[in-house]
């Protein structure tokens, strides 16, 4: 029995022993004190494997992976503390051995074959060339600048060797890039003026510095920097800091902001799965990687948010991720898209088989027909109460909802409005019905109202001044009984008559009872006058009459219409009279006289819109008419119209001067006797002057006040 058991155990252990025998082994790790640089010698049992390496900059670590190799050193930690080395840790995982070398700072390194089964690792700090390296062989192949999609400046440096060490430092408004052990061709030693690209970067200057190359990036204003490397392309990104976060719904096209903790990484030909594991260790998140994720990449990142670094890795390798809570799933983009498509199809099939639930929802403020149109994604029907029409409408609704894609209902859902009770009957799945009820809770609210007070002021100021003169010669007769001169054109005393001899004297002094003047330029409606007899020549009397009028007038008309209306609802208020007008149709005996009426109104039309920040947009049309009896024809007045149409934005309870019309009419006229009216001083006796100055002004004031009762209604 024991013999059979031993045979079975030997049979089980034999494959394991054979597999281990097929693997190589790391026999020893020693320091080479004879080398000029710090050097480690790795001795293997057989042909050394191709080492894969990458570097961590914070903290400084150099990691070497030897695939198909077991740890035969017999120790997991070697306390080497020489030169740039602070210690060596050996870890065996699966069929590979990982060597983690703690460093005192950034280094340059190189792996070389020494003998049959030995690999030498040469380490040197920055600024010191490796003994086996040839710095002259490394050079910068190209330096380019371009503007990123988000307005950032991208300085791209093409390296001849992906393992070139690059150091990036910020110094005020400059970012200094030191490319170690690398020459820059003379054709690239130039100053690039990139201010026209509209990025924070102003100039890019490349210059040699010993065995290194220095690239100085000069920027303007506040900026943030990041640097990363993909294979042989090293990129320095200069961007404007993101603005402070604002409340509200983010735009679908809003830029993605990276908020993760910054890290620095330096990888040379590392497996994609390994770098994802490093990010998982750094963040403490659970990263699940699909079996189809393969490939290697070379990547250098310096002070980049970890979520930005993850995006760079995924985009470079054609991968995508989905995060839920603290778990991130990573797979090729096509695989995730196919999986999500299957999930959506599965959910759709479940929804098609889910039972329908019917519920009647009574609306409080919204119209049932409007909600029906919203749910169905089309125009609401007209409820007529006709059974035949209702049956036809139901059939049409069933046909329409079979392909319903524009409304809130599912393809199987239906909605019908009952105008009599302002209710809506909804039939749909339970999940979709819950979503609809949540939407209706936000829509079925009272509409906010606005009280709009307007004030129309019409002010008038009139001024007129007239000055006239009358000058003439009359035949005189002295009346001893009254001691007065009596002239032709005046009042003749009793028993007094003009004799032909008197008229034959050569002067026709006019007709008795009428005024006769050589200069007759009086004021039409004089408010004052002065008559003078300035002298006589024989029986002829020289007469002068001065007349004057001055009118000042002020008037002010104020109208204050008010109206209350709902948000986005047009309102109209009108007040006025109808004036009769007589019209005649036909001529002669066939003429027909009729009376027509024309409105003279004060009218206000307004449509308010309340903005989310409690301001009011108003579309206003205002008209004020007045009957002008001063300018009438056949007793029928003309109509003066003042009208304003505008769209304005006003703060709540703020008074705005909507508009104004200012009119001023100035006129001055002179009526005079030719030649005599132009004489200095004396010419005033031969002319009449008139001055007119009328001022009219129209001002319109608007004050909206929001009547907010939504909170009270919800309570």
pLDDT at 508 over 70: no
Model pLDDT, residue 2? 42
pLDDT at 38 over 60: yes
One of 3.40.50.150, 3.10.129.10, 3.90.1150.30, 2.60.40.3470 is the CATH number of 135-243+256-289+296-331, namely 2.60.40.3470
Q: Which of 254-268, 374-388, 457-471, 543-557 has the lowest mean pLDDT?
A: 374-388
Q: Which helix (H) or strand (E) holds 3?
A: helix 2-22
Tens-digit pLDDT profile for residues 424-442: 999 998 888 998 999 999 8
Tens-digit pLDDT profile for residues 332-346: 999 999 998 988 888
Architecture of domain 23-125: Sandwich (2.60)
Model pLDDT, residue 282? 82
Q: Is the CA virtual torsion 3, 6, 12, 14 positive or negative?
A: negative
pLDDT at 664 over 70: yes
Domain ranges of the chain: 23-125, 135-243+256-289+296-331, 354-443, 447-574+600-715
Model pLDDT, residue 143? 93
Model pLDDT, residue 711? 44
Q: Return d(Cα 670, Cα 463) in angstroms, integer.
A: 17
Residue 570: pLDDT band by 50, 70, 90 thresholds? very high
Is the distance from CB of 539 to CB of 477 less than 8 angstroms?
A: yes
Q: Which of 233-237, 421-425, 467-471, 694-698 has the lowest mean pLDDT?
A: 467-471
Highest mean pLDDT among 54-68, 202-216, 336-350 belongs to 202-216
Cα–Cα–Cα angle for 61, 299, 281, rounded to 5 degrees: 55
Q: Return d(Cα 46, Cα 68) in angstroms, integer.
A: 11
CA dihedral 492, 496, 499, 505 (to 10 degrees): -50
pLDDT at 483 over 60: no
616 or 689, which is more confident: 616
Q: Return d(Cα 639, Cα 629) in angstroms, integer.
A: 9
Tens-digit pLDDT profile for residues 405-424: 457 888 888 999 999 999 99
Model pLDDT, residue 153? 93
Predicted TM-score (pTM) of this structure: 0.44
Q: Which of 208-222, 267-281, 515-529, 591-605 has the lowest mean pLDDT?
A: 515-529
Model pLDDT, residue 219? 92
Label residue 320 exposed, middle or buried (CB < 10 Å: 0-12, 13-18, 19+): middle
Q: Return d(Cα 96, Cα 19) in angstroms, integer.
A: 13
Q: Return d(Cα 451, Cα 565) in angstroms, integer.
A: 7
The whole-number average pLDDT for the span 229-242 is 84
- Distances 594 to 137, 583, 597, 704 between C-alpha atoms, Å: 111, 5, 10, 45
Model pLDDT, residue 466? 78
DSSP tag of 482: T
575 or 537, which is more confident: 575
Token code pair at residue 192: 């690039």
Cis peptide upstream of residue 59 (ω within 30 degrees of 0): yes
Residue 200: pLDDT band by 50, 70, 90 thresholds? very high
The whole-number average pLDDT for the span 525-554 is 67
Tens-digit pLDDT profile for residues 672-711: 778 777 888 777 777 878 888 888 787 888 899 998 754 4
Residue 623: pLDDT band by 50, 70, 90 thresholds? confident
Tens-digit pLDDT profile for residues 12-28: 444 444 444 567 889 89
The owner of tokens 């320095």 is 236
Model pLDDT, residue 696? 79
Residue 168: pLDDT band by 50, 70, 90 thresholds? confident
- Mean model confidence pLDDT for the chain: 77
Name the 3-class secondary structure at 177. Answer: strand
pLDDT at 538 over 80: no
Please determine whether the domains at 23-125 and 135-243+256-289+296-331 fall in the same fold group of CATH: yes
pLDDT at 68 over 70: yes
Model pLDDT, residue 593? 80
The whole-number average pLDDT for the span 143-147 is 92
- Which of 120, 54, 65 minimizes the C-alpha distance to 97? 65
The whole-number average pLDDT for the span 515-544 is 64
3-state secondary structure string, 346-374? HHHHHHHHCCEEEEEEECCCCCHHHHHHH
CB-hemisphere CA count at 13 Å for 384? Answer: 11
Q: Return d(Cα 610, Cα 617) in angstroms, integer.
A: 6
| Main-chain dihedrals φ then ψ at residue 10, nearest 5 degrees | -65, -40
Q: Which of 207-216, 328-337, 366-375, 495-504 has the lowest mean pLDDT?
A: 495-504
The owner of tokens 């099939």 is 349
Tens-digit pLDDT profile for residues 80-118: 888 888 889 888 876 788 888 888 887 878 888 887 888
- Which of 109, 121, 119, 114 minimizes the C-alpha distance to 26? 119
Q: Which of 309-323, 432-446, 498-512, 618-632 has the lowest mean pLDDT?
A: 498-512
| Main-chain dihedrals φ then ψ at residue 506, nearest 5 degrees | 110, -5
pLDDT at 511 over 70: no
The whole-number average pLDDT for the span 487-504 is 41
Radius of gyration from C-alpha coordinates of the chain: 52
Model pLDDT, residue 710? 44
Model pLDDT, residue 39? 87
pLDDT at 331 over 90: yes
pLDDT at 127 over 60: no
Q: Return d(Cα 396, Cα 376) in angstroms, integer.
A: 12
Model pLDDT, residue 482? 53
* CATH match of 354-443 with 3.30.1370.120: yes
3-state secondary structure string, 199-259? CCEEEEEEEEECCEEEEEEEECCCCEEEEEEECCEEEEEEECCCCCCCCCCCCCCCCCCCC
Model pLDDT, residue 493? 40
């Amino acid at each position: 029995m024991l013999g059979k058991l031993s045979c079975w155990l030997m049979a089980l252990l034999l494959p394991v022993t054979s597999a281990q025998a097929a693997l190589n082994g790391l026999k020893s790790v020693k320091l080479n004190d004879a080398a000029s640089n710090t050097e480690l010698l790795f001795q293997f049992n057989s042909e050394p494997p191709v080492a894969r390496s990458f570097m961590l900059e914070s903290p400084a670590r150099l990691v070497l992976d030897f695939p198909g190799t077991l740890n035969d050193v017999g120790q997991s930690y070697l306390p080497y503390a020489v030169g740039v080395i602070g210690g060596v840790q050996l870890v065996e995982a699966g069929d590979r051995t990982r060597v983690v070398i703690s460093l005192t700072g950034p280094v340059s390194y190189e792996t070389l074959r020494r003998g049959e089964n030995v690999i030498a690792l040469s380490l040197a700090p920055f600024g010191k060339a490796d003994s086996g390296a040839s710095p002259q062989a490394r050079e910068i192949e190209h330096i380019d600048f371009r503007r990123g999609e988000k307005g950032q400046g991208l300085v791209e440096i093409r390296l001849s060797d992906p393992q070139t060490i690059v150091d990036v430092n910020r110094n005020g408004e400059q970012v200094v890039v030191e490319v170690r052990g690398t020459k820059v061709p003379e054709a690239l030693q130039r100053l690039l003026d990139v201010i026209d690209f509209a990025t924070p970067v102003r100039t890019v200057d490349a210059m040699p510095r010993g065995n290194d190359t220095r690239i100085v990036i000069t920027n303007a204003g506040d900026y943030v920097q990041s640097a990363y490397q993909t294979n042989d392309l090293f990129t320095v990104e200069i961007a404007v800091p993101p603005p402070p976060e604002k409340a509200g719904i983010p735009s679908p096209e809003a830029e993605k902001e990276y908020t993760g903790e910054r890290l620095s990484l330096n990888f040379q030909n590392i497996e994609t799965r390994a770098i994802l594991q490093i990010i998982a260790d750094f963040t403490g998140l659970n990263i699940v990687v699909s079996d189809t994720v393969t490939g290697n990449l070379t990547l250098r990142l310096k002070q980049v948010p970890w979520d930005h670094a993850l995006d760079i890795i995924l985009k470079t390798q054609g991968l995508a991720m989905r995060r839920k809570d603290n778990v991130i799933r990573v797979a090729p983009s096509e695989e995730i898209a196919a999986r999500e498509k299957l999930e959506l199809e599965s959910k759709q099939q479940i929804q098609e088989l889910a039972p329908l639930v019917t519920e009647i929802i009574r609306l409080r403020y919204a119209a049932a027909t409007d909600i029906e149109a919203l749910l169905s994604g089309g125009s609401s029907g007209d409820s007529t109460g006709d059974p035949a029409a209702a049956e036809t409408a139901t059939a049409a609704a069933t046909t329409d909802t079979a392909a319903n894609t524009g409304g809130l209902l599912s393809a199987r859902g239906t909605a019908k409005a009952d105008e009599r009770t302002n209710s809506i009957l909804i039939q749909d799945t339970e999940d979709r019905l819950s979503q609809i009820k949540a939407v209706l809770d936000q829509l079925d609210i009272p509409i906010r109202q606005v009280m709009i007070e307007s004030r129309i002021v019409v002010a008038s100021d009139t001024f007129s001044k007239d000055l006239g003169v009358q000058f003439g010669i009359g035949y005189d007769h002295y009346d001893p009984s009254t001691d007065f001169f009596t002239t032709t054109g005046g009042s003749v005393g009793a028993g007094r008559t003009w004799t032909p001899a008197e008229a034959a004297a050569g002067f026709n002094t006019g007709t008795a009872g009428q005024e006769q003047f050589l200069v007759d330029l009086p004021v039409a409606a004089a408010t004052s006058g002065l008559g003078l007899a300035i002298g006589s020549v024989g029986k002829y009397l020289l007469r002068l009459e001065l007349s004057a009028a001055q009118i000042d007038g002020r008037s002010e008309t104020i109208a204050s219409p008010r109206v209350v209306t709902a948000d986005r609802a047009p309102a109209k208020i009108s007040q006025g009279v109808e004036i009769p007008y007589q019209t005649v149709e036909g001529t002669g005996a066939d003429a027909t006289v009729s009376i027509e009426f024309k409105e003279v109104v004060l009218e206000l039309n307004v449509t308010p819109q309340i903005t989310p920040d409690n301001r009011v947009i108003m579309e206003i049309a205002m008209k004020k008419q007045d009957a002008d009896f001063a300018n009438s024809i056949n007793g029928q007045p003309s109509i003066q119209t003042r009208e304003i149409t505008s769209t304005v934005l006003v703060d709540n309870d703020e008074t705005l001067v909507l508009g104004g019309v200012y009119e001023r009419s100035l006129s001055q006229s002179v009526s005079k006797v030719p030649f005599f009216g132009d004489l200095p001083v004396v010419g005033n006796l031969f002319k009449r002057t008139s001055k007119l100055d009328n001022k009219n002004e129209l001002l319109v004031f608007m004050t909206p006040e929001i009547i907010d009762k939504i909170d009270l209604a919800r309570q």
